[in-house]
Amino acid sequence: MKQHRTLFGTDGIRGIANRDPVTPENAFRLGRALTLFLKSTLPSSSLQEPLRVVVGRDTRRSGTMLEAALVAGLTSTGTDVLLTGVLPTPGVALLTREEQAAAGVMISASHNPAEDNGLKLFNGDGIKFDDAAELKIETLLFQEPHDAERLIGADIGTTKILSDATIRYLAACKKTVLSLNLTGCTIALDMANGAASQTTPKILQELGATIHLFHATPDGMNINRNCGSTHGEEISRLVRETGAQIGIAHDGDADRLLLCDEEGNLVDGDEILAMIGLAALRAGTLKKKTLVATVMSNFGLEETLAQAGGKVLRTPVGDRYVMEVMLQHDLNIGGEQSGHLIFRDHSSTGDGLVAALQILQLMHESQQPLSLLRRCLKKYPQTQKNIKVKEKKSLEELRSIIPLIGQIEKELEGQGRLLLRYSGTEPLLRLLVEGKDPKKVQTYCTELVAALERELGVASSI
């Protein structure tokens, strides 16, 4: 019988901080389990010196609490810890590689509210662990430690602060756009009161841009509060008020990007992939003429790439699944509609700052505003709904809606699609309906939401 992970979701362990599973006790156990996993899987040549793990966090108040517990778990089993302090998630992945550490851990709940927190794990290459590795770590986490594992004296690990972590991350980002000069460019920034508050503004100013900075004063509890990449209405408002040529919004740990053109219109991950993908096709730099996207990406993305001689490979939702396919097929550009964008030539995970710099470079080279560049993608009408659930029942158990789903899928065949899945990070059932006829798409969505709410006994969709 196949085992399933119970703690790890699509992006690490996540939940309300100081409540199970995101407790200091579990963070300690995770540190210990990660060490045991690494010692059991790494070649013996890697174990001659103490293992090293890079640990970073975003701006949540609970971050230092979880950091202390995680560090205790790691050092108690002989692992040395390198602390970055507050840093975007891609910065932790970068420093894991640069320091030749055995693993990296980012303490963040990404776009979730301040009350939440999470733990994301990276291997020594700065790539998120796969499902199999997370399952093994989870199994070790639930095991009680043996006395032999409780090290003493000089065998206990050490802790070091990487005081130059931010400088090194920004230097690496700047190397991705060596010729970019943003003099004369005005940019509105929404930093979600998160990890990008001291990074994205700094690099854009160094490149010559005039910036209007908002939501960059984190206090531990205002991260993502009515701001950031999941509150697009805010960056749209800020662009209109400031007259900026482009708006840039990140989420709490800055691995996502949401753009806004100079007219105040939002530009999502699919549009960014289309713009960058087509430019790379023209330049001959898109490996195997193929982009990687998830099942949530608009079908128009496939049509757009196909018309230019390229293609799109689909993956399950989650930027780590995008990265897995990129590695498997040796591809270099991929991402999600939500704004996780991976430029494998420059980064090993989703990086909101690197993605923003690639778009700014494209605007600079083409001398075209974002409102014109984005027109390359002709989207299919798409409606998405999130239904709050008390428990995540197997979709096969929702018997009353199966005939309705079958009927809608038959009517959409060849001209659209229907997707129904649970969120890996929140208590939500996500519904997506896409097709050429917007009226039919809306009708199908309304019918399905009503049926799902009856079946689940809830009346709350967002």
Query: Which of the residues are catalytic?
Result: 110
Pairing mode of beta strands 266-267, 80-86: unpaired
CB atoms closer than 10 angstroms to residue 44:
7
**What residues contact residue 87 under an 8 Å CB cut-off, 6+ apart?**
56, 57, 95, 165, 166, 169, 195, 199
Task: Provide Rg for the chain, Cα atoms.
Answer: 22
CA 292, 57, 155 angle in degrees (round to 5)?
110
CB 50 within 8 A of CB 67: no
Pairing of the two strands 428-435 and 416-422 = antiparallel
* Among candidate residues 247, 198, 243, the one with its CA nearest the CA of residue 87: 198
Edge-to-edge strand list for the sheet holding 210-214: 210-214, 186-190, 246-249, 258-261, 266-267
Distances in Å between the alpha carbon of 58 and those of 118, 162, 172, 174, 298? 10, 15, 19, 21, 31
The runs of H, that is alpha helices, within 44-156 are 63-76, 89-98, 131-141
Burial level of 112, CB count in 10 A (0-12/13-18/19+)?
Answer: buried
Peptide bond into 21 cis (omega under 30): yes
